Structure 1
Amino acid sequence: MKNNNLFPCLLALVFLISPLQAQKTEKTSPEFLQYTNSKWVDSIMETLTPKERIAQLIMVAAYSNRGSQHKKEILKLINEQKIGGLVFFQGDPKSQLELLNDYQLASKVPLLGAMDAEWGLGMRLDNTISYPYQMALGAIRDDSLVYDLGQEVARQLKRTGLHLNFAPVVDVNNNPNNPVINYRSFGENRENVAQKGIAYMRGMQDANLLTSAKHFPGHGDTDTDSHHALPQINHPFNRLDSLEMYPFKELINAGGSGVMVAHLDIPALDSTGVPSTLSKAIITGILKDRLGFKGLIITDAMNMKGVTKGNAPGVVDKDAILAGNDLLEYTEDVPKAIEEVSKAIKQGLISQNELDQRVRKVLAAKQWVGLNNYKKQSTKNILKEINTGHAKFLNRKLVEASLTVLKNKNSILPLRKLDTLKIASISFGAQKQTQFQKSLNLYAEVKSFQVKANATAAEVAALKQKLSAYNLVIGGIHDDSRFPRNTMKFSKAVQQFIGELSKEENSIFSYFKNPYSLNKIAGIEDATGLILTYQDTKTTQDLAAQLIFGGVGANGRLPVSIGDKFKSGDGEDVKGKLRLKYTVPEDAGMNSKVLFHGVDSLMQEAIKKKATPGGQILVAKNGKVVLHKAYGYHKYSDTIKVKKNDLYDLASVTKISSALPALMKLQDEGKFSLDASIDDYLPYFKHSNKAGIPFRQILAHQARFKPWIPYWKNTLRKNGSYKWYTFKKDSSRRFPIKVSENLWLHRNYQKKMFKAIKKSELEDEAKYKYSGLAFYLLPAIVEEISGEDFRKYINENFYDKLGATTLGYNPMKSYKKSRIVPTEHDYLFRHKPIHGMVHDEGAIMMGGVSANAGLFSTANDLAKLMQMYLNMGTYAGHRYIDETTLRDWTKTQFPDNDNHRGVGFDKPYLQYKGENSNTAKDASKASFGHTGFTGIMAWMDPEEDLLYLFLSNRVLPSRSNTRLYQLNTRTKIQQVLYDAMK
């Protein structure tokens, strides 16, 4: 090597000029070194020829997606050259492990398997998880999460047969234009980089995986990619020592097992101009002698132009060994490399003893990872075992913890008072609705727009006109690259538009790009709300949307400075848990495997046995939605799949979702009493047999009321035709109530229904008997007490505030028929398939508006009201109902009379009756809810903070289809929820 003779002088000069700083951490040696002179290492050394010992220091590139010819080439290197290890690149876990098993079988000495998996297996392998890039991890304030990442990444790598991760990157990225490190760095703050690096390293090493801190002595301040050329760093030694090398020193002292050396030209450390990978002054002089590092020293890939330019294959590998490296990554010409190192030994450039010590070090590392007792690994269930619920949950936790709020003027985040907002969302750089926009719509009605990256001024102007109808604009700024590059490809018109929106009073932006690129958009720092996610994935989009509405919080801190706009460390805390959080079961302490398998299999059984064509299920625990899925089709013979935003007829769940919350609120205001009776609010009933019966008895179904009245039958003559004052084929002023396409009801017929209720006889005995009669009267009672239209009252006081936009009556007035799931083919009354109108005959004769039935909703919007109940009257910081009122209404009212019901709410049977019970065995006695005739169930368990919604159309094609009851699907699924908590 050309610089060898200069080494002593240069090294002496360096340390005379600037002594290295004292280390902060007490020094710990790498654990694997304890095996350097073990019996196993001794035994292996005895079997190795001089050339085979050199080969132990060589690792070649291996792929699991390159076919049989590539496999033959690797096997040839193993059989003929006796290489020491493999560095795996593209492929998939199963194929990789199958190959590695074969390679290990062919190898004389077990092979060391390595990978560049900085953000997990997803960096290299298909069908695996990509965790956040290190720039995002740098924003996290809880280092224990980074440790957990290390543990999980180690588990996954080991499951694919590997032993060494070329991570963490501990380069301090202080150059925004760095093309090769950048988002791969924890940031620009040396202490933060060191702390995160140590946490990640310890997590992996505590899980028995070797690590490699990179790229020594620091690749952060370059504007050249060493894959393509040799970057030069011209800082003085003091700066390099105190900044670039600081994290490496900290990781070395913390017991890091490996260090990877970069391909860099650093005149202050070696004036000869050779790459640092080939510099004895840097590797032996500084890393080994001065920093005292005794672990594995690994080269960066030996095929990169930063080291290969001007250096011949084999010769360059020899120079790397002479410089002090222990492992050569990605050697291009293995026979030549072995030959050149052999020559160097003969020439006395390196002694056999010195080389043997490095071989022992490599073998010791192999023993530490268990290769002295190597066993073939099974590929069975490998994908499931890698992509576990815990692994997915960790990814969400890391993304959530990295969310950084840079602006939050007037505490706009999280959004409140949804009933005052008309919201538009714009996804910049997208051409169709994004996950960000879909997730925003989980919380409120948000109109979605998209702006192409190259949009013209005319296209922008057209959108501006549409935005005039909205008082809040939420922008998502998206990336067009797989990696978050520091680039800006938006047209001038788009950038100007973003700047203009930022100056509006109510503008929120979520930035899904590289943070450095924020500096390229003038004015974005003026936005009322500004969120930084560091990269663009479905998970970052989803959680950013949840942050805006308070489903999650944020406490991330910016790990780099962004021009003059923001400084490293900037960020504001925003509290979460305001509204429902959409997450994975493990976030709520539930087992995703038990939950998803159990629910999916029961739903598939129900659909297969034609108990229902499809359905929606939503499960929330601790205010966290852990399952939200759509199953099957709208009809058995249909091709329209159920979607999560389709609306279902809620049937009797309307009872607890419409008049009931209204009456509880009116009770809180002193305007309604459970001790009062119907005639107290509707004088028409004063002289009826219903007078004086208290509402507590009525709503607990213990008022002796008849179960139901077939109102529609009273409209028929003996010959089957309709009486003249009941129905007409066409609408008119006298017949305005639509019952079906060619059936319109007389405007006064509701009075006849009330009369029928008034005159109906009472049962002989005051005991539990389910009756819907009083619920037809409740809307009129709410109107009488409040002085407001019933629908307006419940919309303004509940649904609008909750953001439950689909929860309402007569959905055809607001939604396309294709979004509404059909119910029964009515051959008795309407003689048509029922689609878009309420199934219940009495409710449709009330104009579709009744407290007995009539509400439609998605599971998601119904969940908001039910979660308010589960929260004992509050949601999103607003109290809707007093807690004492809710606790009273949801408790069993007349247990001594063998009546299990609450006030309006259903409750578990007083004694569990097995499959004949109305709830799962494990549902607590404190739980409450309701079921619906069309195949609905809404149930809440305050003891477990558990919400369960089951929406279906089991009445298709006919109400005589009772298979859903026979299979007991709803309560069996409910039991799965409790099983998943165990």
Structure 2
Amino acid sequence: MKMIESKGDILDAKKLSLKQKVGQLFMPAVFINDSEEEVQKMEALIRAANIGALCFFHSRASAATNFEGKKKIIHNDNSYARLVSLIERYQTAAPYPLLIAIDAEWGLAMRIENTPQYPYAIGLGAIQDQEGILIELGKKIGEDCKNVGIHWNLSPVADINNNPNNPVIGYRSFGDDKTKVYRKAQAFIDGMTSVGILNSLKHFPGHGDTATDSHLGLPVINKSKAEFLENEIYPFKKLIDKGVDSVMVGHLQVPALDDSGNPATTSRTIIDGLLRNQLGFEGVIISDALNMHAVSKKYTTKGSLEAKAFDAGMDMMCFSEHPVEGIDEILKTATPERIQESFERVWHLKRKAMASNPTKFTKSKLDYNELNTELARFSITEYYGNESQLDLIKSDSFLNLSIGKCIGNYFSTAIELNYNAQHHYIDVDNLEEIKKALYKSDNAVLALFPPAAKPKDQFEIKPELLEFIRDIVQKKNMLIYLFGNPYVSDILGLNGKSNVVFAYQCFESFQKVAFEHFSDKLEAKGKLPVQLKFLNKP
């Protein structure tokens, strides 16, 4: 904050030319692991174009540019220090203080190594009637942002995830219940706001019910307008009525809302008509990343996408790859009055961020580990389709199995130490050996750590291991502890009589809570935040 305060009077906008005001509407992406050459290029752009905001990503390999996943992501233990250094450099280069933004849906760890990571939203969705702990979470993430000079956390996700095959939202959503999504998002926002961090609802008008990744293509959602207003729009409307800083528009085509073929990003009907006029939102409207293939492939002339989005009612151009050309195109096509409207919204948001005084805020009561432990205790969820079989597991010798890796397997190790049940870690190279061990008992506990949170390629579970799980589920009396996305359960060959405990994350704190539950020292209070197919099987 010192860097910002030293820049002079942020309230004085009289000196800005019309072109400089347009520059304030642009938020290029910046990368923590960029080369010195790229950093200097960005410093020059900030100075020359009077850029208003920046959005930080880990690297070009991990950002939305890496659509095909061909670029190698390089781990950097010094990302945190590098982020702090770059924020200072870019602020120094800026004629006017920059708004610094980041995606920190589950903390800075979403972009930065060796920083606190909190649960994905889908696990938080399992928590019942404990808004206070979600306020603490929002506060904690907000504090982490503030400590490095970030003003704007582009979260929470207000999408209702009602499509199990959603490749881009899924685990990032609080669930499929519109009221619970609204309440949890509100608690998260309240926490961030309490420590002076700006928020952004995303991805309007609702990215939940699609099986297309908008990084790669344009999702088309064929629902009626009535359905959309009743369900997808509900959390946005409720949160807008309460008051939010910004709304992020997603790259979605919804014919019932706009039959022109335009994605929401460039749809005046959706942005200016629905969001601004019908829902009455008066704050900043920000785009999802403009380099995403859903829209970037449609507008190939440099600057044309930015100008089209602005014409539709957009205020802030996030991840614009062509800010210089975009500024020129907006100056050619927009009226001074229209430019002034967006500028005043962005400037107001900037003033709000710069006026934030850290000494006025009350710090979170819990440290990182304490908070994660509490979140684990409130979220752990059990589904017992055949509860009478559970006693057989602990009353007799049972197999202590695990598949997948986390940073340490506290859960299986604790079972081995406390129940005299040898831990068998299962992988492709020892499958035959494990199959022989299975003859020793009809009962088994399986700790499953899925490699991925996204459904692509069966959550990246190796086909041989997935086949093995499906087989033993049918042959053994199983109790599965799932440390990951609950949708994984639908590919395991389970049925309504299966016994599963959903622990959501593989963090050590979540594993310790899971062991407390296994040891009958903790009651599961969570409820599944999404509908699962296997529960409808006989």
Please tell me the TM-score bracket, short chain as reference. 0.7 to 0.9
Residue aligning to 1:678 = none
User: Structure 2: how far apart are the matches of 1:365 and 1:119?
Assistant: 23
Shift of 1:430: 5.6
User: Structure 2: how far apart are the matches of 1:177 and 1:134?
Assistant: 17
**Amino acid in the other structure paired with 2:288:** D
Residue aligning to 1:45 = 13
User: Structure 1: how far apart are the matches of 2:235 and 2:321?
Assistant: 31
Matched, 1:370 2:364: no
Residue aligning to 1:105 = 92
User: Structure 1: how far apart are the matches of 2:84 and 2:112?
Assistant: 12
Matched, 1:475 2:443: no
Work out which of the residue numbers 491, 516, 521 in structure 2 matches 1:520: 491
Residue aligning to 1:308 = 296
User: Structure 2: how far apart are the matches of 1:40 and 1:198?
Assistant: 32
Q: Is the 8 A contact 2:372 2:510 kept in 1?
A: no
Shift of 1:205: 1.5
Residue aligning to 1:56 = 24
**Amino acid in the other structure paired with 1:540:** F
Q: Is the 8 A contact 1:460 1:494 kept in 2?
A: no
The SS at the match of 2:275 is helix
Work out which of the residue numbers 409, 414, 417 in structure 2 matches 1:439: 414
User: Structure 2: how far apart are the matches of 1:244 and 1:171?
Assistant: 7
Q: Is the 8 A contact 2:424 2:434 kept in 1?
A: no
Q: Is the 8 A contact 1:263 1:276 kept in 2?
A: yes
Q: Is the 8 A contact 1:453 1:490 kept in 2?
A: no
Matched, 1:556 2:531: no
User: Structure 2: how far apart are the matches of 1:553 and 1:372?
Assistant: 41
Shift of 1:459: 4.3
Residue aligning to 2:65 = none
Q: Is the 8 A contact 2:398 2:421 kept in 1?
A: yes
Shift of 1:480: 2.2
Matched, 1:425 2:400: yes
Shift of 1:202: 1.6
Residues 262-292 of structure 1: per-residue CA shift (max 9 Å, x gap): 0011111111111100000000000000000
Summarize the Cα distance change of 1:370–1:230 in structure 2 as closer, same or farther, 3 Å threshold: same
**Amino acid in the other structure paired with 2:444:** V
The SS at the match of 1:214 is strand
Work out which of the residue numbers 34, 37, 43 in structure 2 matches 1:66: 34
The SS at the match of 1:62 is strand
Q: Is the 8 A contact 2:146 2:197 kept in 1?
A: yes
Residue aligning to 1:544 = 514
Q: CA RMSD in A?
A: 2.8
Matched, 1:297 2:289: no
Q: Give the structure-1-normalised TM-score.
A: 0.49
User: Structure 2: how far apart are the matches of 1:290 and 1:482?
Assistant: 36
Summarize the Cα distance change of 1:390–1:290 in structure 2 as closer, same or farther, 3 Å threshold: same
Q: Is the 8 A contact 1:63 1:88 kept in 2?
A: yes
Matched, 1:262 2:262: no
User: Structure 2: how far apart are the matches of 1:343 and 1:260?
Assistant: 25
Q: Is the 8 A contact 1:129 1:387 kept in 2?
A: no
Summarize the Cα distance change of 1:146–1:305 in structure 2 as closer, same or farther, 3 Å threshold: same
Residues 376-409 of structure 1: per-residue CA shift (max 9 Å, x gap): xxxxxxxxxx999712211221122211111175
The SS at the match of 1:530 is strand
User: Structure 1: how far apart are the matches of 2:378 and 2:423?
Assistant: 27
Matched, 1:449 2:424: yes
Matched, 1:343 2:311: no
User: Structure 2: how far apart are the matches of 1:154 and 1:279?
Assistant: 32
Shift of 1:483: 5.3
User: Structure 2: how far apart are the matches of 1:156 and 1:84?
Assistant: 22
Q: Is the 8 A contact 1:499 1:524 kept in 2?
A: no
User: Structure 2: how far apart are the matches of 1:215 and 1:208?
Assistant: 22
Shift of 1:253: 0.9
**Amino acid in the other structure paired with 2:26:** I
Q: Is the 8 A contact 1:453 1:494 kept in 2?
A: no
**Amino acid in the other structure paired with 2:452:** S
Residues 153-194 of structure 1: per-residue CA shift (max 9 Å, x gap): 111111110111110001111111111111111111111111
**Amino acid in the other structure paired with 1:49:** S
Matched, 1:199 2:184: no
Work out which of the residue numbers 108, 112, 119 in structure 1 matches 2:106: 119
User: Structure 1: how far apart are the matches of 2:337 and 2:267?
Assistant: 21
Matched, 1:355 2:325: no
Q: Give the structure-2-normalised TM-score.
A: 0.87
The SS at the match of 1:446 is coil
Residues 449-468 of structure 1: per-residue CA shift (max 9 Å, x gap): 12225875x44531222x33
Matched, 1:138 2:137: no
Summarize the Cα distance change of 1:463–1:146 in structure 2 as closer, same or farther, 3 Å threshold: same
User: Structure 2: how far apart are the matches of 1:210 and 1:431?
Assistant: 33
Shift of 1:444: 3.0
Q: Is the 8 A contact 1:187 1:193 kept in 2?
A: yes
- Aligned residue pairs total 503
Q: Is the 8 A contact 1:427 1:476 kept in 2?
A: yes
Residues 840-886 of structure 1: per-residue CA shift (max 9 Å, x gap): xxxxxxxxxxxxxxxxxxxxxxxxxxxxxxxxxxxxxxxxxxxxxxx
Residues 675-705 of structure 1: per-residue CA shift (max 9 Å, x gap): xxxxxxxxxxxxxxxxxxxxxxxxxxxxxxx
The SS at the match of 1:559 is coil
Unaligned runs of 5+ in 1: 1-38, 346-350, 376-385, 568-982
Shift of 1:533: 1.8
The SS at the match of 2:84 is helix
Q: Is the 8 A contact 1:55 1:84 kept in 2?
A: yes
The SS at the match of 2:418 is coil
Summarize the Cα distance change of 1:429–1:40 in structure 2 as closer, same or farther, 3 Å threshold: closer
Residue aligning to 1:159 = 147
The SS at the match of 1:474 is strand
Summarize the Cα distance change of 1:160–1:511 in structure 2 as closer, same or farther, 3 Å threshold: same
Q: Is the 8 A contact 2:196 2:358 kept in 1?
A: no
Identity of aligned residues (%): 33
**Amino acid in the other structure paired with 2:472:** I
Work out which of the residue numbers 264, 267, 272 in structure 2 matches 1:276: 264
Q: Which has the higher contact order (CA 8 A, sep 6+)?
A: 2
Summarize the Cα distance change of 1:432–1:389 in structure 2 as closer, same or farther, 3 Å threshold: closer
Shift of 1:51: 0.7
Shift of 1:416: 11
User: Structure 2: how far apart are the matches of 1:508 and 1:373?
Assistant: 50
The SS at the match of 2:248 is strand
User: Structure 2: how far apart are the matches of 1:282 and 1:370?
Assistant: 31
Summarize the Cα distance change of 1:431–1:167 in structure 2 as closer, same or farther, 3 Å threshold: closer
Residue aligning to 1:84 = 52
Summarize the Cα distance change of 1:112–1:433 in structure 2 as closer, same or farther, 3 Å threshold: closer
Summarize the Cα distance change of 1:196–1:372 in structure 2 as closer, same or farther, 3 Å threshold: closer
User: Structure 1: how far apart are the matches of 2:238 and 2:415?
Assistant: 43
- The 5-angstrom pairing of residues 484-495 of structure 1 reads 487=459, 489-491=462-464, 493-495=467-469
Residue aligning to 2:473 = 499
User: Structure 2: how far apart are the matches of 1:200 and 1:543?
Assistant: 23
User: Structure 2: how far apart are the matches of 1:144 and 1:339?
Assistant: 47
**Amino acid in the other structure paired with 2:117:** S
Unaligned runs of 5+ in 2: 1-7, 59-75
Larger Rg: 1
- The 5-angstrom pairing of residues 406-805 of structure 1 reads 406-407=383-384, 409-410=386-387, 420-429=395-404, 434-452=409-427, 458-459=432-433, 461-465=435-439, 467-468=440-441, 472-481=443-452, 487=459, 489-491=462-464, 493-502=467-476, 504=477, 507-523=478-494, 525-527=496-498, 529-565=499-535
